[in-house]
């Protein structure tokens, strides 16, 4: 058996082996680089330029801050009940007044003339009524006298008629004499009946006339009373006891009926009137409570009235103090009230920040455990108050979140933090 002969590789075959090995190695290196290299876009940011807040669990309540004004618990406005010229101002703005104190005096020549005319009418109608009653009484007396006279004539004619009738039956008098006595008797009888009927009709007419005059006098007296009351209204008096906080009247000025002249504040208590954004109009109702801090102490209030009219995107509410009222509170003082819209609940909380304007609360940059970088994470937020967001999904207590504005971050996926 012959010996095997060693076959030598040719030079171009060795070169193919080297190229194949190099290609495999290059592929392995490329895959390794792809697996080890972070493909996320990143931005280097200095830690001092951002705000980092910690997520925590704690009590949460929805409330809105309101800026209100302290007002008296009740204000009574002074309006001119009757127009006129200001003759005298007896009380100054800022002074305290008692009920029925005269504050100012107006004069009105037309009203005075009207009173004089109505008084003249009343005098005239009263005279007419008095004269009518006198005439009725005089007429009644006259009729009574006439009836007495007729009664006497009737008795005489009746007696004559009866006597003549007997004489006529005995043929002692003529037919003409008998007829005359009978006719006279009939005449007097009929005249008496007519006089009685006339007396009855005249009495009814006079009664109606008196009733009409009495009604006219009563109406004039009522109107005169109203005019006199209007004249009395020229004296502006305090309707309640309190402080005359404003008075818009100077001597010589002319005031129209219904014009606002001032107001009296009842200082038995205070309330706070505040404006609320119309966004909350369906949630704000009577009975909602709020808190007010003054001199290091917190006072509780409750809504007692909601004004539904919206002006410039806001509506107003009145709130009164529950329990203790601040001693040093003054009318016109500004009050910063926290109006509670929900009860206190325990939940996961994230401090408010400028990030919400960029993300709408859908995602945020959350730091890793090392604190060297922060990456995007989808989250879901619920209700909010001026300090905190309620976290529904995506964050847990202990997480740290970049809560400052994202306006300059662009659309990067990762923030690399540096000192």
Model confidence pLDDT, tens digit, residues 111-164:
778 777 877 777 777 777 777 777 777 777 777 777 788 788 878 888 887 887
Q: Is 68 part of any domain?
A: no
Q: Is 161 part of any domain?
A: yes
Q: What pLDDT, on the 0 to 100 scale, is given for residue 203?
A: 74
Q: What pLDDT, on the 0 to 100 scale, is given for residue 379?
A: 94
Whole-number average pLDDT of the chain: 83
For residue 349, the SS3 value is strand
Into how many domains does the chain fold? 3
Same domain, 363 and 328: no
Question: What is the strand order of the sheet 254-255 is part of?
Answer: 235-237, 102-107, 84-89, 254-255
Same domain, 168 and 271: no
Distance CA 91, CA 81 (A): 18
CATH assignment of the domain containing 387? 2.40.420.20
Q: Is 79 part of any domain?
A: no
Query: Of 290, 311, 340, at which residue does a domain stop?
Result: 340
> With 60 as the cut, is the pLDDT of residue 261 above it?
yes
Q: Is 116 part of any domain?
A: yes
Q: Is 368 part of any domain?
A: yes
Q: What pLDDT, on the 0 to 100 scale, is given for residue 34?
A: 46
pLDDT digits (tens, 9 = 90+) for 196-255: 887 777 778 777 877 777 777 777 777 777 777 777 888 899 999 888 988 998 899 898
Same domain, 212 and 277: no
Query: Of 284, 313, 340, at which residue does a domain stop?
Result: 340
Domain extent for 140: 110-232
- Which range (9-18, 156-165, 252-261, 327-336) has the least confidence? 9-18
Same domain, 192 and 138: yes
Same domain, 336 and 402: no
Query: Of 184, 217, 232, at which residue does a domain stop?
Result: 232
Distance CA 256, CA 63 (A): 46
Q: Is 22 part of any domain?
A: no
Q: Is 66 part of any domain?
A: no
Same domain, 165 and 216: yes
| Listed residue (328, 275, 258) closest to 299, CA to CA | 328
Q: Is 94 part of any domain?
A: no
Q: What pLDDT, on the 0 to 100 scale, is given for residue 307?
A: 93
Q: What pLDDT, on the 0 to 100 scale, is given for residue 346?
A: 94
Distance CA 33, CA 21 (A): 19
Q: What pLDDT, on the 0 to 100 scale, is given for residue 404?
A: 94
């Amino acid at each position: 058996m012959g010996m095997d002969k060693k076959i030598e590789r040719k030079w171009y075959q060795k070169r193919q082996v080297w190229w194949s090995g190099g290609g495999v190695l290059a592929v392995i290196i490329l895959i390794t680089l792809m697996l080890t290299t972070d493909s996320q876009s990143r931005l280097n940011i200095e830690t001092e330029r951002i705000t980092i807040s910690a997520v925590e669990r704690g009590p949460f309540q929805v409330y809105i801050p309101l800026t209100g004004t302290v007002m008296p618990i009740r204000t009574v406005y002074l309006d001119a009940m009757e127009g006129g010229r200001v003759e005298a101002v007896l009380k100054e703005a800022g002074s305290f007044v008692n009920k029925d104190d005269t504050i100012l005096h107006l004069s009105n020549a037309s009203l005075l003339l009207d009173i004089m005319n109505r008084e003249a009418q009343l005098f005239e109608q009263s005279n007419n009524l008095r004269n009518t009653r006198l005439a009725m009484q005089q007429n009644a007396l006259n009729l009574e006298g006439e009836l007495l006279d007729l009664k006497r004539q009737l008795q005489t004619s009746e007696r004559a008629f009866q006597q003549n009738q007997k004489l006529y039956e005995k043929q002692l008098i003529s037919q003409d004499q008998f007829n005359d006595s009978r006719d006279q008797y009939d005449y007097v009888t009929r005249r008496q009946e007519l006089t009685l009927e006339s007396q009855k009709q005249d009495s009814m007419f006079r009664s109606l006339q008196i009733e009409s005059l009495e009604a006219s006098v009563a109406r004039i007296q009522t109107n005169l009373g109203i005019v006199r009351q209007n004249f009395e209204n020229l004296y502006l008096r305090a309707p309640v006891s309190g402080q005359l906080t404003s008075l818009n009247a100077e001597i010589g000025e002319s005031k129209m009926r219904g014009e606002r002249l001032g107001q009296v504040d009842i200082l038995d208590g205070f309330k706070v009137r505040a404006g609320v954004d119309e966004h909350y109009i369906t949630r704000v109702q009577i009975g909602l409570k709020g808190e007010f801090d003054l001199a290091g102490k917190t006072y509780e209030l409750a809504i007692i009235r909601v004004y539904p009219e919206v002006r410039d995107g806001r509506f107003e509410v009145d709130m009164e103090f529950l329990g203790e009222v601040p001693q040093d509170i003054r009318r016109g003082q500004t009050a910063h009230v926290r109006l509670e819209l929900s009860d206190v609940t325990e939940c996961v909380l994230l401090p408010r920040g400028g990030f919400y304007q960029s993300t709408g609360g859908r995602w945020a940059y959350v730091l890793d455990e090392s604190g060297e970088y922060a990456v995007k994470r989808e989250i879901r937020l619920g209700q909010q108050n001026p300090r905190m967001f309620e976290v529904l999904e995506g964050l847990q207590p202990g997480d740290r979140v970049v809560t400052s504005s994202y306006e300059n971050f662009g659309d990067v996926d990762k923030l690399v933090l540096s000192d």
